[in-house]
Amino acid sequence: MRRALPIIVLLLILFLAEEWVVTFIKQEHAVTYEYVENGRTYQIDEKYRKKEGDNYYLDITTDGFHFSYIIPNDFRKNKEIVKELATYEKEGTLCIFPIFDSETISYDIECSSNGSLFGYEARKQEPMVQEFIGQLKERNIQLPSWEEESLEPVEGPQGVAYTKNIPEGASVVMWTYQGIDIINQKGRTFQRTTDWDKYDNNQGILVNQYYVQPLYHSDRVFDFSEAQIINIENPNDIKTVSFPDIVSQNTYINGVVEDKIYYLDKDKVVQYELNLESKKVRVVGNTSINAQFYNGKWDTVNIYDMVHTEMHFQKDFSSIPALGNEEVVEVFENSHCYYYYTRGGAFYRLSKETPEVPMYLFQTNDPSNVRVENDTIYYISGDSAYCYREAYGNRKIITNNEFLYNKLNRIYVYEGEKEA
C-alpha cells in the first residue's frame, strides 16, 4: 500500500494538470465526425474557438443540406459534443435539432431547403415544424421560443412594458421627450434629463451603461454647451462634461469608437470627440484640419462632405458577398458572427466560420432603431419594440403609440452582467 500511494498521488497530479491544461490553456480545436439518422449520414465539422467568444461552431452537412450552429462553451472544451441529431424531413425541407450531454440550451431548430437556411422563428407557422416540435416535447425537450410570451403590462410615463420578456441582465432605455425610461426585469425607472419637451432625440445616445444627453440652454431645446452622463445602473450617478464652445442644434452624431462619441456641428463646421473615460471634449475636426471618419480604420475626410451629407461611422463589409448586397441596410458584428437586415425587413445571422451560409431569422415590417447586443436583436416595428434571440424567439417588450410618429433614437439597450 505504501508503494502504491506515491503512484496514486502522481496519477492524481497528472490528472489535475491535464484538467488545468484543458480548462485554461486550450484555445481551440477542430474535429470532423459523422452521425447517421434515418439512412442519412451527417458530417459534423466542429470547431472550438476560445478567442472568438468561447464558442463551438458546428457546420453540419448532408446531401446538399447545410446547417450552421454557434454554441456557447458549456462542454469544458471537449471534442465531439454532438451526441444525437433529432431530425424531421418532409417535402424537400430538412429540420434538425442537435442534442448534447449538457442541459444548457442556447440554440433552436434549423431548417434547410433549396440551398437556404432558416431559423425556427422564420418557419414556425409551418405544420411540419410544429410536428417536429411535438416530437421533441414528447422527449421532454422544451425551449422558451416554443411557448407563448408573457404579456403582463407594467405602466410607465409612455406606453406599457412587458418586463418579463426583457432578457436577464438587460436594460432597455427609451427616450420619452423629457428624459429616459429605464426598463428591465425589475421594473421601470424614469430619469428626467430636461424640463422641456425635446421631440427629436438627435443628440442623445447610450454607450455601454452611460446615457449621454445635452443640457439645453432654453425651452427651445436647440443649442447646448454641456452634456450630462447618466449611469443607467445607478441613475442618480450623473456627471457633467463641458464643450469648448456652444454647439448648435444642427448637430448629429457620427458614431462611437472605443467609448468616444463623435459629434458633427454642421452650422459651425466643427467635429467634437467626447471621451467618456476622461469626461473631456476636444475638437478633432474643423475647416483647417478637416474631419475624422471611421469605417474599420481612421481616415481624414473633407469636413464639408460631413456637413452636406450626414456620414455615420460604419465598417466596410462589402468584401463579404452576403453583406455587400445593396439590399442590406445595416450590419452588426460581434466576435463570432454578423447580424444584418434588408430593406424588406428580413433579418439574418452569418457565422464568421461559414460566411457562405446566411441563416434567415425572421421577417418584420419597417424595422427601425435596430440594436444588437451580444446575440440579441432589438428593434421597433409599428407601435411596439421587440427583442429576438434564437432560443427565446421574438418577444414584445414595449408598446408605445408614439413609436408610430417618432422613431428617432427612441430605444437603446445595455446588457449588463447576469446575476449569480
Phi, psi of 84 (to 5 degrees): -160, 150
Q: Is residue 83 part of a domain?
A: yes
Q: Is residue 211 part of a domain?
A: yes
pLDDT at 14 over 90: no
Given a contact cutoff of 8 angstroms between Cβ atoms, the answer to whether 48 and 58 are in contact is no
* β-strand pairing of 170-175 with 160-161: unpaired
* pLDDT tens by residue, 361-370: 999 999 999 9
Same domain, 303 and 319: yes
Q: Is residue 32 part of a domain?
A: yes
Q: Is residue 182 part of a domain?
A: yes
| Separation of alpha carbons 96 and 63, rounded Å | 14
Same domain, 79 and 118: yes
Same domain, 81 and 28: yes
Q: How many domains does the chain have?
A: 2
Q: Is residue 329 part of a domain?
A: yes
Q: Residue 246 to residues 2, 194, 239, 261, 384: CA-CA distances in angstroms?
A: 83, 18, 19, 17, 36
* β-strand pairing of 28-37 with 179-184: unpaired
Q: What is the pLDDT of residue 18?
A: 53
pLDDT at 9 over 60: no
Q: What is the pLDDT of residue 271?
A: 98
Section 31-53 average pLDDT = 94
Q: Is residue 298 part of a domain?
A: yes
When comparing pLDDT for 148 and 378, which is higher?
A: 378
Q: What's the chain's Rg over C-alpha atoms?
A: 25
Q: What is the pLDDT of residue 203?
A: 95
Would you say the C-alpha torsion 229, 230, 231, 232 has a positive or negative sign? negative
Same domain, 370 and 343: yes
Same domain, 166 and 134: no
* pLDDT tens by residue, 207-257: 999 999 999 989 989 999 999 999 999 999 999 999 999 999 999 999 999
Same domain, 200 and 137: no
Q: Residue 133 to residues 40, 47, 87, 140: CA-CA distances in angstroms?
A: 20, 27, 11, 11
Instruction: Tell me the one-letter amino acid at 97.
Output: F
pLDDT at 166 over 50: yes
Last residue of a domain, one of 120, 146, 172: 146
Same domain, 172 and 33: no
Q: Is residue 17 part of a domain?
A: no
Q: For the domain that residue 355 is a member of, what is the CATH number? A: 2.120.10
Mean residue pLDDT of the chain comes to: 92
Same domain, 183 and 304: yes
Same domain, 172 and 297: yes
Which of the given ranges, 4-8, 100-104, 285-289, has the highest pLDDT on average? 285-289
Domain hosting residue 114, numbered range: 24-146
Q: Is residue 229 part of a domain?
A: yes
- DSSP secondary structure letter of residue 238: E
| Separation of alpha carbons 326 and 318, rounded Å | 9
Q: What is the pLDDT of residue 418?
A: 47
- Tell me the three state secondary structure of residue 52: coil
Q: How confident is the model at residue 106 (pLDDT cuts 50, 70, 90)?
A: confident
Last residue of a domain, one of 146, 166, 197: 146
Same domain, 125 and 173: no
pLDDT at 420 over 60: no
- Tell me the three state secondary structure of residue 77: coil
Report residue 217 as a C-alpha cell. Answer: 440652454
Last residue of a domain, one of 146, 165, 193: 146
Same domain, 67 and 164: no
Same domain, 172 and 140: no
